[in-house]
Amino acid sequence: MARIVANHAYEAAIGGIVAGVDEVGRGPLAGPVTAAAVILDGARIPQGLADSKTLTAARRQALFVAIIECAEVSVAHASVQEIDDLNILRASHLAMERAIAGLPRAPDHALIDGNLIPKGLTISATAIVKGDAKSLSIAAASIIAKVTRDGLMVDLAQQFPAYGWDQNAGYPTAAHLKALQIHGVTPWHRRSFKPVHNILYQEHFITP
């Protein structure tokens, strides 16, 4: 089966100002969900642009810098509280809506990674399943979002070193789950997520 290579065909076919949009951080037990929106200059697309999941950390970092230098970029988050209040899907879409709203220019159209279009968008949009592997704009957004969120989790790991967020970015690794059992829940943990909720529930019903 031939490997899909991201290209600029969606953007070219739509025309006008097109933003690629992606989010990262749906699966972690801790930290915000982060979205990015990117408007690429078709004449200045960085070499090697691809889905962030297929790149090494060093390559992502280099492309992050290249994208910032030649494209219009906006990053936004939905907080842990918003994730718990709204649910992770709606919070992810909220972060996407905020990222699009934060662009220097309002795009004519948004290419959204996934199979759903955020309900709060005020512009036309296309949802593309595995869009980060198909559209260069979405691939660029995936890189911006991941590098930004990973950096945020590294910073938070300085405050809460026991959980290994600098290595696991808040995802439920064995080490992270063990640390939750030993050290308990921090303000950055998502209480609506089952492993965190279960620990809080256990603590609530433990009697001295």
Task: Say if 137 falls within a structural domain.
Answer: yes
The residue range of the domain holding 97 is 9-205
For residue 96, tell me if it sits in a domain: yes
Domain membership flag for residue 3: no
Confidence (pLDDT) at 4? 58
Taking CA atoms, 127 is separated from 56, 119, 124, 138, in Å, by: 26, 12, 10, 11
Q: What is the pLDDT of residue 8?
A: 87
196 assigned to some structural domain: yes
pLDDT digits (tens, 9 = 90+) for 79-108: 999 999 999 999 999 999 999 999 999 999
Tokens in use for 163?
């959980």
Tens digit of each residue's pLDDT (9 = 90 or more) over 143-179? 999 999 999 999 999 999 999 999 999 999 999 999 9
- State the chain's mean pLDDT as an integer: 93
Q: pLDDT-derived band of residue 208, with 50, 70 and 90 as boundaries?
A: very low
The pLDDT tens digits for 102-134 are 999 999 999 999 999 999 999 999 999 999 999
Is residue 4, in this structure, part of any structural domain at all?
no
The dihedral over CA atoms of 64, 65, 68, 69, expressed in degrees to the nearest 10, equals -150
22 alpha-carbon distance from chain centroid: 6
Spatial separation of the C-alpha atoms in residues 77 and 98, rounded to whole Å? 8
Is residue 54 predicted with pLDDT exceeding 90?
Answer: no
pLDDT at 204 over 70: no
pTM, full prediction: 0.93
Q: Please indicate, yes or no, if residue 29 is contained in any of the structural domains.
A: yes
Question: What's the CATH code of the domain at 25?
Answer: 3.30.420.10
- The reply to whether 147 falls in a domain is yes
Distance of CA 18 to the CA centre of its chain: 19
- 24 assigned to some structural domain: yes
CA–chain centroid gap for 98, Å, is 12
* φ and ψ of 110, to 5 deg: -120, 135
Tally of domains within the chain: 1
Per-residue pLDDT band for 2 (boundaries 50, 70, 90) equals very low
Q: Is the pLDDT of residue 1 over 70?
A: no
Query: How far is residue 175's CA from residue 87's CA, in Å, rounded to a whole number?
Result: 25
- Weakest-pLDDT range from 10-14, 20-24, 101-105: 10-14
Task: Please determine, for residue 202, whether its predicted confidence score (pLDDT) is greater than 90.
Answer: no
User: Mean per-residue pLDDT for 61-72?
Assistant: 97
